[in-house]
C-alpha cells in the first residue's frame, strides 16, 4: 500500500470514527434523568448508564425510572426492599413510588408491588388485572381500572384514603397525596384530552371505537378510552357515534 493510500485509508477511518461518535453521544443524551435536592439516601444518584428512561417517579427516600426495554431501575433508600424490583423485571409500562414501597404496572394490566407492606400497601386486590394507571401514597396504593373505577389498598386510617366515594365510575386518571387520593372524571367526547370537543377528536374517537380498552389507554397515555363512551353506558362502540356527533355539535 502506498503512503498516499495509507493516508487516505487512515483519514477515512478517522472520519468513520467521528461519524459513529457523534450519534453515540447524541444517543446517550436521550432519556436521561436529572435529579436534585435532598440526597441523604442517594435518591439523586441515578445509576449509570443514565440513558434510555421513558418515565420517572419519586418515593419517600428512593427514586424509580422506567426504561425503554420495560425494566424498572430503583435507587436510594432500600431499607424495606423498595428498590428491589421483583423478577421478571420486564414488560412494565408505568411506575410509581410510595414512602417505602413501589409499584409497577405491567403491559398485561397487572400491578406488581414491593417494599414496605405493614399496611398491606403491596397487596394488590384480586383480580389483579385490567389496571391502566397506578399511584402510590405514603402508605396506600391506588389503581385505576379500564372500566373507570379506582381501587385503593393499604393504610386506610382516619382519612379513609382507600374508600373511593360513590359513584366509583367514570374515572380516567388517579393520583395519591400523602394520605389523600384523587381521581379525575371522564370528559366525554374529548379524545385528545385538550379540554374541548371539536373535529380534532374525530380521529382518536374512531380509533377508540371497538378497541381493546387497555391497549388503547396504553397507546394514548395522556387520554382515556372512556372519553369515547359518549352515551355513558360503560362501553365504547358504534352506539356512541350519535352521542359523539351531538357533543361535536355542542349538544
What residues line the site for Ca ion (CB under 5 A)? Answer: 190, 192, 194, 201, 229, 231, 233, 235, 240
CB nearer to Ca ion: pick between 36 and 199? 199
Strands across the sheet containing 101-106: 92-97, 101-106, 111-115
Nearer Cβ to Ca ion (54/248): 248
CB of 166 to Ca ion, least distance (A): 21
Whether the CB-CB separation of 41 and 62 falls below 8 Å is answered with: yes
Write down the least CB distance from residue 240 to Ca ion, Å.
Answer: 4
Q: What nine digits make up the cell of 159? A: 382519612
Tell me how far apart the alpha carbons of residues 130 and 151 are, in angstroms, rounded to a whole number.
11
Nearer to Ca ion, 35 or 202 (CB): 202
CB-based contacts of 117, cutoff 8 Å, min separation 6: 101, 123
CB nearer to Ca ion: give 60 or 148.
148
> 99 or 190, CB closer to Ca ion?
190
Given the complex with Ca ion, which of 99 and 201 has the nearer CB atom?
201
Rounded Cα distance between 233 and 235, Å, is 6
Radius of gyration of the chain (CA): 23
Q: Least CB distance from residue 105 to Ca ion, whole Å?
A: 25
| Nearest distance, CB of residue 118 and Ca ion, angstroms | 42
Decide whether 54 or 235 has the Cβ nearer to Ca ion.
235
Q: In whole angstroms, how close is the CB of 131 to Ca ion at the nearest point?
A: 21
Q: Least separation, in Å, of the C-beta of 191 and Ca ion?
A: 6
How far is residue 39 CA from its own chain's centroid? Answer: 24
In the complex, what is the shortest distance from the CB of residue 236 to Ca ion, in angstroms, rounded to a whole number? 6
Amino acid at each position: 500500500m502506498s503512503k498516499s493510500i495509507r493516508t487516505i485509508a487512515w483519514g477515512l477511518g478517522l472520519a468513520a470514527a467521528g461519524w459513529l461518535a457523534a450519534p453515540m453521544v447524541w444517543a446517550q443524551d436521550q432519556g436521561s434523568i436529572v435529579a436534585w435536592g435532598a440526597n441523604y439516601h442517594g435518591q439523586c444518584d441515578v445509576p449509570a448508564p443514565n440513558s434510555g428512561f421513558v418515565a420517572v417517579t419519586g418515593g419517600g427516600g428512593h427514586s424509580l425510572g422506567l426504561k425503554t426495554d420495560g425494566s424498572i431501575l430503583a435507587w436510594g433508600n432500600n431499607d424495606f426492599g423498595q428498590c428491589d424490583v421483583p423478577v421478571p423485571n420486564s414488560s412494565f409500562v408505568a411506575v410509581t413510588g410510595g414512602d417505602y414501597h413501589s409499584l409497577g404496572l405491567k403491559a398485561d394490566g397487572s400491578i406488581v408491588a414491593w417494599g414496605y407492606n405493614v399496611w398491606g400497601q403491596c397487596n394488590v386486590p384480586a383480580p389483579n388485572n385490567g389496571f391502566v394507571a397506578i399511584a402510590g401514597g405514603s402508605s396506600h396504593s391506588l389503581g385505576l381500572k379500564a372500566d373507570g373505577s379506582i381501587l385503593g389498598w393499604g393504610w386506610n386510617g382516619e382519612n379513609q384514603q382507600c374508600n373511593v366515594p360513590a359513584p366509583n365510575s367514570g374515572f380516567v386518571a388517579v393520583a395519591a397525596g400523602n394520605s389523600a387520593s384523587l381521581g379525575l372524571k371522564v370528559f366525554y367526547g374529548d379524545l385528545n384530552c385538550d379540554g374541548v370537543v371539536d373535529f380534532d377528536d374525530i380521529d382518536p374517537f374512531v380509533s377508540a371505537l371497538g378497541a381493546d380498552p387497555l391497549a388503547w389507554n396504553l397507546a394514548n397515555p395522556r387520554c382515556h378510552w372512556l372519553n369515547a363512551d359518549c352515551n355513558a353506558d360503560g362501553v365504547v362502540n358504534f352506539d356512541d357515534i350519535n352521542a359523539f356527533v351531538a357533543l361535536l355539535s355542542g349538544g
